[in-house]
Structure 1
Amino acid sequence: MSKRKKHNLQWIKETLELKEDHNWKSQPGTRIFVAGRGALRFDVPQDWHFEPDTKSFRFLDKKPPNDDCRLEASFNLLPPGEWADFPLVHLLKQVVRDDERNPIEQGEIIRLKRQTARIVWTQFKFIDPQENREAYSRICIGLGSGVQCLITFDYWVDDAERLTPVWDTVMESLVLGLYIRDPRTGLAFPD
């Protein structure tokens, strides 16, 4: 189920000690993922495998090739302007229509409002051509605080009971454009 690309990425990983009175909070069994100093933030299962790519970030339930699902996220910083009327639902419908995996069943579009962010997502079912198995794909587009995000989650239909709560956690914890000045404290201030 996992798509893999070989890239010669040069990432710098830095580990910082959190201050005792830090403000980082996540649900039990999860860890907080933050990209772009807070442009994109959500909780993921604590024991999932992380793979950065050139333009996105992937989380897998197990290290490849033994993974059964893929949660992938990317974000863009938007130019200044009026984005409140941007047609997110129309864009999401177009993304599903253009999907090359030929959806065989599509769910409703869910709309979430979070502080300054608008979030839409949907699910569709498709047949994985390599495994000849039914799979789900969930697609989320979020827009707010000068940030646009795309989050996708692909998993086997057989694993829906185990993995649907992972998506629910990501959607519940998703925050856009809440920038963190000092990651050791987790204090967020508008820039």
Structure 2
Amino acid sequence: MISKTFQLRGDHRWKAKAGNSILVLDRGAVRLEIPRAWSVARHQGTIRASDRPEPDDNTSLEITVYHLPHLMDELPPVGELLAQAAPEEADLAHERVERMPIVEDRRGDTASAILETRFRENGRDATSYTQIAVAGELACLLTYAFWDDDASEARRVWQDVQDSLVLGWYVEDPTRGPVVN
């Protein structure tokens, strides 16, 4: 995975909610907003955004993009796909407290499924959201985790991610942003 940071042109058309930055992966395969102060780095085949560098982070988001041109007809519905990716009997590195039912949603041509899990790690309560979003020949896996001490702010950030998540809107010039004719 190649990662580049671009200097934006003065006439760029990227627009983010106040306090946020736009994170664009694979020239627009995935686009979403994260807090401006967060750091972004490659991490074991994914992109990882967090409020602080590891191991001092309190909130983190990992994003993986999949191009599935030949598999789209074979994929199960997105909720089943998530259930297969995160089976209940999975060996977890922490004590699971509660696993919520998978929630499916469709926004435009993007189908998504989200699983919320509450757990304890190192004596602290935490929450994670695992999401699979599929649009066209693209799939995106998002894993978002936070300590419950930070739940109010963390849930606001997650809502911003959800509100801004767009798959498959490619941009020709990332220094300029999307062009609408």
Query: TM-score band (shorter)?
Result: 0.7 to 0.9
| Pair 1:30 & 2:16 matched | no
| Pair 1:70 & 2:72 matched | no
Corresponding residue of 2:116: 123
Supply the distance in 1 between the matched residues of 2:71 and 2:55 (Cα, whole angstroms). 43
The normalised TM-score by structure 1 is: 0.82
Corresponding residue of 2:105: 112
Amino acid at match of 1:181: E
Corresponding residue of 2:7: 16
Matches within 5 A, 1:152-171: 152-171=143-162
Supply the distance in 1 between the matched residues of 2:102 and 2:13 (Cα, whole angstroms). 33
Supply the distance in 1 between the matched residues of 2:82 and 2:38 (Cα, whole angstroms). 27
Deviations 1:72-93 (CA, angstroms, capped at 9, x unpaired)? 0001111246449732112222
Supply the distance in 2 between the matched residues of 1:88 and 1:65 (Cα, whole angstroms). 32
The verdict on how the C-alpha distance between 1:85 and 1:100 changes in structure 2, with shifts beyond 3 A counting, is closer
| Pair 1:103 & 2:96 matched | yes
- Please tell me the root mean square deviation across aligned C-alpha atoms, in Å: 2.3
Contact 2:33 2:161 survives alignment (8 Å): yes
Secondary structure of the corresponding residue to residue 96 of structure 2:
coil
Contact 1:178 1:188 survives alignment (8 Å): no
The normalised TM-score by structure 2 is: 0.87
1:53 corresponds, among 38, 43, 46, to 43
Corresponding residue of 2:163: 172
| Pair 1:149 & 2:140 matched | yes
Supply the distance in 2 between the matched residues of 1:96 and 1:154 (Cα, whole angstroms). 18
The verdict on how the C-alpha distance between 1:58 and 1:141 changes in structure 2, with shifts beyond 3 A counting, is same
Identity between Structure 1 and Structure 2 (%): 29
Supply the distance in 1 between the matched residues of 2:101 and 2:3 (Cα, whole angstroms). 40
Supply the distance in 2 between the matched residues of 1:117 and 1:161 (Cα, whole angstroms). 27
Supply the distance in 2 between the matched residues of 1:126 and 1:39 (Cα, whole angstroms). 31
Amino acid at match of 1:118: A
Secondary structure of the corresponding residue to residue 149 of structure 2:
helix
Contact 2:75 2:81 survives alignment (8 Å): no
Q: Which runs of 5+ in 2 are unaligned?
A: none
- Alpha-carbon deviation of 1:115? 2.1
Size of the alignment, in residue pairs?
177
Supply the distance in 2 between the matched residues of 1:12 and 1:138 (Cα, whole angstroms). 25
Corresponding residue of 1:138: 129
Corresponding residue of 1:4: none
The verdict on how the C-alpha distance between 1:43 and 1:82 changes in structure 2, with shifts beyond 3 A counting, is same
Amino acid at match of 1:61: D
